[in-house]
Amino acid sequence: MFALALFLVGTVPAHNPLTVRVDPRHHEVILTFGPVDVPRQQPSGQPHHHGGEAAGHDVPLMSFDWPVDCWANGFRLTIVDRLGGKLSNRLVHHLNVIHLGRRQLVEPVFERTFAIGQETGKVVLPPSIGVRLERGSPLAVHLAWENMSDADLEDVTLELAIHYLPANTVPAPREIHPVPLDVAFTPGGSNSFDLPPGASVFGREFRFPISGRVLGLGAHLHDYARSIRLEDVESGKVLGILHTRADSTGRVQGIERIIYGAYGEGLRIRKERTYRVVAEYDNPTGQVIPLGGMAIMGAIFMPDNPREWPALDRSSPGLQADMAMLERRATSVAHVH
């Protein structure tokens, strides 16, 4: 085991609030966190702004071994109170399931295998595609709450059910991976940026180390965002644009998705070609909002040859920074049923 796993194993608390259960009948791995108390984020009546690391109440990282050999192809998130009443999924600012044994495609850090934001709904992929997960793979959950209500919440339970296809599924699904294209990502640091008053544009260029196809696009943006788009730098062509849906105050309520295809079709991505992600914001407050912006485009990527996927380089500065950040948040190894 490498350093992060050893750190996690060495810090097991007396009570671990994360449990992992396999439901073979419905082909689900169910992660349950809680019950826990979720304090309110700020006093009622103050204007709501996201703010980088302060945007949510971080829960210490929780690690576990993935329990089945399979292809993961969907998930649903449910949050309930002590009586079993359903609570809004907007209580979760973000939830990431991190693969501690696999690299992200365009960044030298651990893969964020599942990424859920406030605007993320239930995800169901067709049975022709899936994310390959081997039994025993080292994973970890990073969760940040955002309780913007008028009161503290007690005995809250979160359940993430991940649907899977067994490893012996015939025909075998095509392998896909989530690829976040983050405008402000820094390994080990914040990916938020200051939001100036009025209209503003933020962008970053990316080069894919392998060729493949994008089958779908989604995004995570903060309040006052208008849109995010993917461009081919060489041709200048816009390959996909996602607009936000906001309320009267500018708070983002949802973001469009694009599905290009799941049966060999999709948006062609060429190795070492340059692509750009551009996010547009319009801040009406007349003030700079420190760390108020974030812009992540999430791609469902199907590599032409999965064996070309870049390997983890544990000596790289990027991975070392990512590992240090995760170690600061480390807490435990989950109990599996």
In sequence order, the 6+-apart residues with CB closer than 8 A to the CB of 126 are 73, 262, 263
pTM, to two decimals: 0.84
Whether pLDDT at 45 is above 50: no
Domain holding 201, by residue range, is: 3-336
- Around Cβ 309, how many Cβ atoms within 10 Å? 16
**Range picked from 29-38, 52-61, 147-156 for highest mean pLDDT:** 29-38
Residues in the chain: 337
Whether pLDDT at 291 is above 70: yes
Whether pLDDT at 229 is above 80: yes
In sequence order, the 6+-apart residues with CB closer than 8 A to the CB of 327 are 3, 4, 7
Whether pLDDT at 65 is above 80: yes
d(CA 66, CA 129): 19
| CATH number of the domain to which 252 belongs | 2.60.120.230
The pLDDT assigned to 86 comes to 94
Nearest to 294 by CA among 330, 244, 241, 329: 244
C-alpha radius of gyration, the chain, whole number = 20
Whether pLDDT at 2 is above 50: no
The total number of structural domains in the chain stands at 1
